[in-house]
Amino acid sequence: MKKRVLFINPGKNDYFTVGRIHMGQTLLGGMLKRQGHEVLVMDYAFLRGLRGNIRVPEIEEVVETFKPDVIGITVFTYVYNECLSMIERISMSTDAPIILGGPHFIMFPGDFGSDTRISYLVRGEAEDVIKDLVVTAKKEKTPVSIDCTLPSPEGIPAVNLDIAYGSEFLSDYQIQLSRGCPFDCTFCNVKMVAGKRVRLRDLSLCVRQIIEAKKRYPNIRTISITDDVPTINKNRFKEFLKMLKNANLDCELTVDNVRADLIDEEMIGLYVSAGGQNICLGVESGHPEVFEMTHKGESLEKIAVAAKLIRKHGLTLGMCFVIGLPGDNLKRHMASLRFAKTLKPDYAFWNMCVPWPFTEVRQWYEKNGTIGELRNFSTLIDPMVNYQSPPAFTAQFPPEDRIKAWLMANMQTYWFDIRSLGKLAREAARYGLYRPLLIFAFGKTLHTIKMRLEFLARNFKQFGLYFTAGKVLRKLRQHARI
């Protein structure tokens, strides 16, 4: 029996914009489409950024016009409240069975277990169960739990962007060359979600999928590699870069989740030649003792060397930190800030520590601190200075000090939007952060100009005048609409 299947990705009510369409839903939806089902993906996180370009219907209108037989919702912990709202709105509009999935249920397997609005709870990667589940799905009195096994690399299909509402405006195409992470970082939950065994996909197939997507969607200008640990096999990643360069797609390339000990000069050179734009290194903490307790298996010295190598090749340098790791406090946080200032990243993510269930950090906090509500917490302050109270703290690093550290770091690495200056000034007065405020106020514009000039110069060198001029014109049109 062929069915009408609606996938929904709720968006967070903040000032972040998302330039990518939810990969998991377009993977699963593509599988169902090939089975003959009619599939629609409504990624509201992505669609928020298109307002002004496209009319985005509310979910009630989508349900009324599409008339789904089955509805799937992806639940991320940081959008928990938005998911609750979406479920309520849908249940008021239709009796179609609702399937919940997503990484939230790995961390919180008991959630929604007695919610009679829900028919199925899917835990884990759903490639091996989705086809049978959709065919047999019916309205259940209480949720039925389904635990998934991890699919083989061959079982990971291509995305189907045709089924996603607004996909004609997509400019950022994401793909995974592998899944899984073998490392044991104490704060990370990836190994619970994707497994410790790295499942390597066929590179030739991945490149063909990228080429096909670019042909079908000429607006795609960025290829994003979103593996859990993309350079785990350095020679393999170098081969991918060579293949992508030979495809001559005239696309920028970005890569998430890079370890400093898994890159080298040859790789960086190939990355640049393939259109590479940035590399963001996971630092976590600049304090030696706090860093050692993360069990990352690399060193701050290697991170510093890698940062200089990235700079040497003219790439945009990013760094990712975590505030409030075991052993951290306000004084030790200053070591992270000094480390960042020394290496001068173009951007930095300052995440607030979340003691996820089943992690070593969770065990540490259970013995040494206080853990509050983790659901709906966003680990980053958004560009307009909206944030929530830290979900965990210790006597040595209380909530007020954590917020102070959070604000201070983001000010001095120019994270906030200049339009937030008034609100930022009030926060600075509240926490006595006058010097960081002055650094931000006087440095933000110069920092932005510097980044944009470097970006354009790199684009001109990589792609030529036509590509670079087109990018400038698109940005001007975007600002004109604003």
Q: Which residues pair with 352 in a beta bridge?
A: 323
Boundary residue ending a domain (257, 285, 313): 257
What is the average per-residue pLDDT within 220-238? 97
Distance CA 277, CA 462 (A): 10
463 confidence band (pLDDT: 50, 70, 90): confident
Q: How does strand 347-352 pair with strand 370-371?
A: unpaired
Does the pLDDT of residue 288 top 50, yes or no? yes
Distance CA 69, CA 101 (A): 17
C-alpha of 126 from chain center: 19
424 and 363 fall within a common domain: yes
193 confidence band (pLDDT: 50, 70, 90): very high
* Listed residue (137, 123, 154, 163) closest to 22, CA to CA: 163
* Listed residue (125, 153, 137, 149) closest to 233, CA to CA: 153
269 domain-assigned: no
Distance CA 332, CA 285 (A): 9
Does the pLDDT of residue 210 top 80, yes or no? yes
* 387 within 8 A of 427, measured Cβ to Cβ: no
What is the average per-residue pLDDT within 111-122? 97
Burial of 471 (0-12, 13-18, 19+ CB in 10 A): middle
Distance CA 419, CA 386 (A): 13
Which residues in 134-152 are b (16+ Cβ under 10 Å) and which e? beebeeeeebbebebebbe
* Listed residue (195, 189, 181, 196) closest to 148, CA to CA: 195
25 confidence band (pLDDT: 50, 70, 90): very high
Distance CA 6, CA 287 (A): 47
38 and 125 fall within a common domain: yes
Tell me if residue 405 falls in helix, strand or coil.
Answer: helix
Does the pLDDT of residue 205 top 60, yes or no? yes
Distance CA 155, CA 190 (A): 20
315 and 424 fall within a common domain: yes
What is the average per-residue pLDDT within 136-149? 97
Residues 389-437 have pLDDT tens digits of 999 999 999 999 999 999 999 999 988 999 999 999 999 999 999 999 9
304 and 185 fall within a common domain: no
Distance CA 300, CA 302 (A): 5
Distance CA 135, CA 421 (A): 53
* φ/ψ bin of 65: left (φ > 0), alpha (ψ from -120 to 50), beta (otherwise): alpha
480 confidence band (pLDDT: 50, 70, 90): very low
Which residues in 89-98 are b (16+ Cβ under 10 Å) and which e? ebbebbebbb
CATH code, domain with 359: 3.30.750.200
Report the chain's mean pLDDT, rounded to a whole number: 94
Q: Give backbone dihedrals phi and psi of 71, rounded to 5 degrees, phi first.
A: -125, 130
266 domain-assigned: no
Distance CA 194, CA 226 (A): 13
Q: How far apart, in Å, do the first and last CA atoms of the chain sit?
A: 46
| DSSP string for 304-318 | HHHHHHHHHTTPEEE
Q: Which residues pair with 225 in a beta bridge?
A: 175, 255
316: which residues sit within 8 A by CB, 6+ positions away?
277, 278, 279, 346, 347, 451, 454, 455
66: which residues sit within 8 A by CB, 6+ positions away?
4, 6, 40
Boundary residue ending a domain (257, 291, 324): 257
Domain hosting residue 195, numbered range: 171-257
Torsion angle, alpha carbons of 135, 140, 144, 150, to 10: 20
342 and 213 fall within a common domain: no
224 and 196 fall within a common domain: yes
Total domain count for the chain?
A: 3
Residues 342-378 have pLDDT tens digits of 999 999 999 999 999 999 999 999 999 999 999 999 9
189 and 286 fall within a common domain: no
Residue 110 corresponds to which tokens in the numbers above? 């008991």
305 domain-assigned: yes
482 confidence band (pLDDT: 50, 70, 90): very low
88: which residues sit within 8 A by CB, 6+ positions away?
117
184 and 40 fall within a common domain: no
Please provide the size of the chain in residues. 482
Distance CA 325, CA 381 (A): 17
Distance CA 182, CA 195 (A): 8
270 domain-assigned: no
